[in-house]
Amino acid sequence: MDSSLNLNAWNLVVLIGALHGLMISLLLVLSQRNRKSGNIMLSLMLLFYTLPVLRVVLHDMGFIRSLGYSFLSVELLYGLGPSLYLYTKTLTNAQFHPGKPDLLHFLPVVLEIIYYSSPFYQRHEFYFFADPINTDHLIWMMEQAGGMISVFVYLFLTNRTLMKYSKWIRDNHSDIHKRTLSWLQKPVFLYTIFFVLWFSLRAIDVLWFGDRLDISNYYPFLLFLSLGTYWIGTQGYLHTQTLTTGFYESREKKATQKDDQAQLNLLFEELEKVMSRDKPYLDSDLSLAVLANHLQINQRLLSEVINSQAEASFYEYINGYRIEAFKQSLLADGDKLPIINLAYDCGFGSKATFNHAFKKNTGVTPSQYRKYLQNQCPR
């Protein structure tokens, strides 16, 4: 048996990335930090996303074929989608803890493991176009195709969940900086692009090259997947304290009928009076629930009032008042205090939220706006 290994820069770099993913996965399981269920789901996700990379690189290096380590030639494709989706659910709602019904998402993984242990898998050819195509090979082709479909279905569900969550925080919170999941949205989007490109390359390989394209053509994709997984692993561990409570509970509360327009007008007038008189927007932690309690109406009705009458989300509506207060503060004390101090005094809870809201509302940065005022009204 030939024990020589094929070592090159590509497979060594990708192998190191894959091993890092496995180590982070292990550390997350052993972690004693809060959101333990989130850590477990992240650990599973890292494991599932690392296995395909590990399988290809070990195959290319010679561990599988030359050394006979056939048990390494597995990739749990049916775990890729569910693990990412359930991990996203644990992030968008701190009260979500995967239970027995959620474990059904991983039933195809169990069947996949059974298949890998069966004679059907041991006898098949590792190419889509085997000669001849027998029953064993057809089963393998269906397993691979089903894995691809599973990945895209769950990527769709994950992206949809993140989009709904993004809308929810804007409808319920005035400062979204602590609750944003942009660090997860970006790699999930890149994962989607990755799998589209990966399966496109696989289709080209199968249809034009008879599934015999050199493995070196896949290494840039494998490196990308390895780095993306490493990114989610490290960022996921660092963001275990992200505040995301309430999303799944509140999103199910829908109006049973359209409220009377006259009632909405009256409620909006009352809301405007409260905003001017009591200035609740000065509370940096102001939420839809807190403001609804102040007005003694339910959250859904208040949300509808703001959405329909102000034509804005809760986030945009409250920060609009804060921006106006900031502008008045600039006129009065613009040369005495730092901009960020004025922003905090006007109710903004973070510099990121302030800069984003001000630029979107005015089209210029706070510094540019102050300079404009200084030029218009020199002292």
What are the pLDDT digits (tens) for 176-230? 877 778 888 888 888 888 888 888 888 888 778 877 777 778 888 878 887 778 7
pLDDT at 127: 56
Q: Place 348 in a pLDDT band, splitting at 50, 70 and 90.
A: very high
Predicted confidence (pLDDT) at residue 322 exceeds the cutoff of 50: yes
* pLDDT for 130 beyond 80: no
Which pLDDT does position 226 carry in this prediction? Answer: 79
The rounded mean pLDDT for the chain is: 81
Q: For residue 347, what pLDDT is reported?
A: 94
Q: How many Cβ atoms sit within 10 Å of the Cβ of residue 82?
A: 28
In the numeric block, the tokens 């996949």 are attached to 112
User: Average pLDDT for residues 263-291, to the nearest whole number?
Assistant: 94
Name the residue ranges covered by the structural domains of the chain.
Answer: 9-249, 274-376
Cβ atoms of residues 66 and 136 within 8 Å: no
Specify the 3-state DSSP secondary structure of 372.
helix
For the chain, what percent of residues have pLDDT higher than 70?
Answer: 83
Q: What is the pLDDT of residues 328-337, one digit of tens each?
A: 988 886 667 7
User: pLDDT tens digits, residue range 33-75?
Assistant: 555 677 788 888 888 888 887 777 777 776 655 554 554 566 7
Residue 168 has which token pair? 């929810």
Each residue's pLDDT tens digit, 131-170: 556 777 788 788 888 999 999 999 999 999 999 999 998 9
* Residue 172 reports pLDDT greater than 70: yes
Beta bridge partners of 173: 287
Tell me the CATH class for 274-376. mainly alpha
pLDDT tens track for 227-249: 778 788 777 777 665 555 566 55
Q: What is the pLDDT of residues 10-21, one digit of tens each?
A: 777 777 777 777
* Residue 280: cis peptide before it, omega within 30 degrees of 0: no
Q: How many helices (H) and strands (E) does the chain have?
A: 17, 0
Residue 25: pLDDT band (50, 70, 90) is: confident
- Given a contact cutoff of 8 angstroms between Cβ atoms, the answer to whether 22 and 230 are in contact is no
- Please say if the pLDDT value at position 295 is more than 90: yes
pLDDT greater than 50 at residue 255: no
Copy the structure tokens of residue 283.
């509370």
| Cα dihedral value 298, 299, 301, 302, nearest 10 | 110
Say if residue 269's pLDDT is above 90: yes
Residue 243 in tokens: 């505040």
Please provide the CATH number assigned to the domain covering 9-249.
1.20.1070
Say if residue 321's pLDDT is above 60. Answer: yes
Measured between alpha carbons, how far is 230 from 161 in angstroms, rounded to an integer? 22
pLDDT at 114 over 60: yes
CB-based contact 169:179 (threshold 8 Å): yes
